[in-house]
């Protein structure tokens, strides 16, 4: 009798597995199974409890002590540093009064739902269709996130993020009539200036949303800025995460202050997409931001100021931004970048409470620390940070950039086979990724 029960159970299990892999059934259930799996993993291994500690701990403790001593609170607020002058551009911006209210027409709203992690493709599709491009989010998504769509066009859950440079590369390679600029250190005024002249702007910012465990969590998100209202001190933008309803995703409004709060997490980065023949107009409107290195230096000055006057999670973002700016200069300063990131991660470990929820997804979207540690010869820190990110902050190791940089560091310490395995894992997430293909070819491997 017991044998029959076991046999019946085994047959039922085999039948269930067989039914699960029938395409119509699999398409309906796979995301639910993945969602359940993620909930279980996050319940037993909360990602916001993961903490990366740089291995050069003695150096970090010295920096923390010196910095805390330098920034002891006084009876009066500390003065902000005067930004160092950067290279000017010609022509400069003419300070013509801007309209009090601008809301651009001709925006073709797209949401990201029905596809996994399609915030980037949806926003950049809107940026292109505004100028008459004949495409949509799936056209871009298939190119920059090929691992997120099956050969039958069904959603797949592999690539978690698209970075601004990937979308810029897509425009350069696939839409030759269009161009784009990416700059750090933006502010509300430069957004107002661009939008009032008819050029909408894509920004990357942080938001807080309830996750699948009903816990408030931080994540990165693109926003397509298409207007502003000075009287109400509001930005008007397209939010691909929200469907039509309340609040709406189309022509959504957010206060200047709240917008800046979220924008800070990404070093105030912004992207302007425009027809190639209007490049001179764009550069003129950008003014000093037309010079990439000036913009990065400006972002560094902003981060330095904010690291002195802010507290909690905002101070963490400011120190992280210092590292990002050092890495992004025309002549990168990787040593100072690494030290800034060290201090940022030290602050991160101390974040507690509802008002300072740890943004554990930070390394899903930004790779500056990998570059800073790698080019400073701190290979163990690259490996440890990537491993913490891949194993402790995400339910599946679906971050090709983290795999790539871990592979780079593994090779440098002589662990070639581990490097090869990580390069191949990166290609499984992002098929055809030339960076990983080239790395394998350099090692004599067939991708």
Per residue in 303-319, pLDDT (tens digit) is 999 999 999 999 999 99
Q: Looking at residue 73, what is its pLDDT?
A: 37
Q: Looking at residue 161, what is its pLDDT?
A: 85
C-alpha triplet 36, 41, 47: angle, nearest 5°: 125
Q: In sequence order, which residues have a C-beta less than 8 Å from that of residue 279 and are 6 or more positions away?
A: 179
Q: Quick check: 253 pLDDT over 60?
A: yes
Q: Quick check: 274 pLDDT over 80?
A: yes
Q: Looking at residue 55, what is its pLDDT?
A: 80
Give the closest residue to 191 by CA, choosing from 182, 200, 204: 200
How many CA atoms does the CB half-sphere of 416 hold within 13 Å?
7
Q: Quick check: 207 pLDDT over 70?
A: yes
The phi and psi torsions of 426 (rounded to 5 degrees) equal: -65, -40
- Average pLDDT score over residue span 420-433: 95
The string over 297-336, giving b where at least 16 C-beta atoms fall within 10 Å of a residue's C-beta and e elsewhere, is bbbbbbbbbbbbeeeebebbbbbbbbbbbbbbbeebbbeb
Q: Looking at residue 419, what is its pLDDT?
A: 98
Q: Quick check: 362 pLDDT over 60?
A: yes
- Average pLDDT score over residue span 349-370: 86
Query: Do 305 and 321 form a contact (C-beta atoms < 8 A)?
Result: no
Q: How far apart are the first and last CA of the chain?
A: 53
Average pLDDT over the chain, rounded to an integer: 84
- pTM, two decimals, is 0.84
- Which CATH number applies to 45-73+300-442? 1.25.40.10
Which pairing describes strands 178-183 and 216-229: parallel, antiparallel, or unpaired? unpaired
3-state helix, strand, coil in the chain (%, to 5): 55, 10, 35
Q: Quick check: 26 pLDDT over 70?
A: no
- Average pLDDT score over residue span 220-244: 93
Query: Do 56 and 378 form a contact (C-beta atoms < 8 A)?
Result: yes
Q: Quick check: 36 pLDDT over 50?
A: no
Q: In sequence order, which residues have a C-beta less than 8 Å from that of residue 70 and are 6 or more positions away?
A: none
Q: Looking at residue 145, what is its pLDDT?
A: 86
Confidence of residue 10 (pLDDT cuts 50, 70, 90): low
Q: Looking at residue 191, what is its pLDDT?
A: 98
Q: Give dist(CA 336, CA 204) in Å, integer.
A: 24
The string over 397-406, giving b where at least 16 C-beta atoms fall within 10 Å of a residue's C-beta and e elsewhere, is bbbbbbbbbb
Q: Tokens 């207007």 — which residue? A: 227
pLDDT tens digits, 91-106: 445 567 899 999 999 9
Q: Which CATH class name applies to 101-290? A: alpha beta
- Average pLDDT score over residue span 137-155: 78
Q: Quick check: 287 pLDDT over 60?
A: yes
């Amino acid at each position: 009798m017991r044998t029959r029960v076991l046999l019946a159970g085994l047959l039922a299990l085999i039948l269930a597995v067989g039914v699960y892999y029938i395409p119509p059934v699999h398409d309906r259930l796979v995301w639910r199974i993945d969602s359940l799996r993620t909930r279980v993993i996050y319940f037993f291994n909360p990602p916001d409890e993961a903490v990366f500690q740089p291995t050069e701990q003695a150096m970090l403790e010295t920096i923390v002590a010196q910095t805390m001593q330098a920034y002891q609170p006084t009876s009066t607020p500390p003065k902000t540093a005067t930004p160092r002058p950067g290279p000017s551009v010609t022509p400069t911006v003419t300070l013509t009064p801007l309209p009090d209210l601008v809301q651009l027409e001709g925006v073709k709203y797209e949401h990201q739902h029905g596809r996994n992690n399609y915030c980037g493709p949806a926003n950049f599709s809107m940026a292109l269709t505004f100028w008459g491009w004949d495409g949509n989010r799936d056209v871009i998504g298939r190119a920059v996130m090929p691992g997120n769509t099956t050969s039958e066009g069904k959603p797949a859950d592999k690539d978690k993020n698209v970075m601004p440079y990937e979308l810029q590369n897509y425009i350069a390679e696939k839409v030759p009539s269009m161009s784009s600029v990416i700059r750090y250190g933006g502010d509300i005024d430069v957004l107002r200036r661009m939008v009032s002249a008819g050029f909408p702007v894509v920004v990357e910012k942080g938001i807080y949303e309830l996750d699948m465990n009903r816990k408030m969590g931080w994540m990165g998100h693109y926003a397509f800025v298409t207007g502003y209202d000075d009287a109400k001190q509001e930005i008007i933008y397209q939010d691909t995460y929200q469907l039509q309803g309340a609040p709406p995703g189309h022509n959504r409004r957010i206060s200047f202050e709240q917008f800046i709060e979220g924008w800070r997490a990404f070093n105030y980065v912004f992207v302007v997409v425009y027809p190639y023949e209007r490049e001179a107009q764009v550069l003129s409107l950008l003014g000093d931001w037309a010079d990439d290195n000036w913009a990065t230096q400006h972002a560094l000055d902003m981060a330095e100021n904010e690291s002195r006057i802010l507290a909690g999670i905002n101070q963490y973002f400011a120190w992280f931004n210092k590292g990002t700016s050092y890495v992004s200069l025309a002549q990168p300063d990787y040593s100072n970048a690494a030290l800034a990131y060290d201090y940022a991660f030290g602050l991160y470990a101390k974040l507690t409470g509802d008002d300072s929820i740890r943004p554990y997804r930070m390394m899903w979207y930004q790779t500056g620390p990998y570059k800073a540690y790698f080019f400073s010869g701190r290979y163990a820190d690259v490996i440890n940070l990537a491993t913490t990110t891949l194993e402790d902050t995400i339910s599946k190791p679906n971050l090709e950039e983290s795999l790539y940089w871990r592979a780079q560091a593994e090779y440098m310490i002589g662990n070639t086979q581990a490097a090869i395995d990580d390069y191949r894992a990166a290609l499984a997430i992002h098929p055809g990724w030339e960076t990983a293909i080239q790395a394998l070819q350099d090692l004599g491997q067939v991708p």
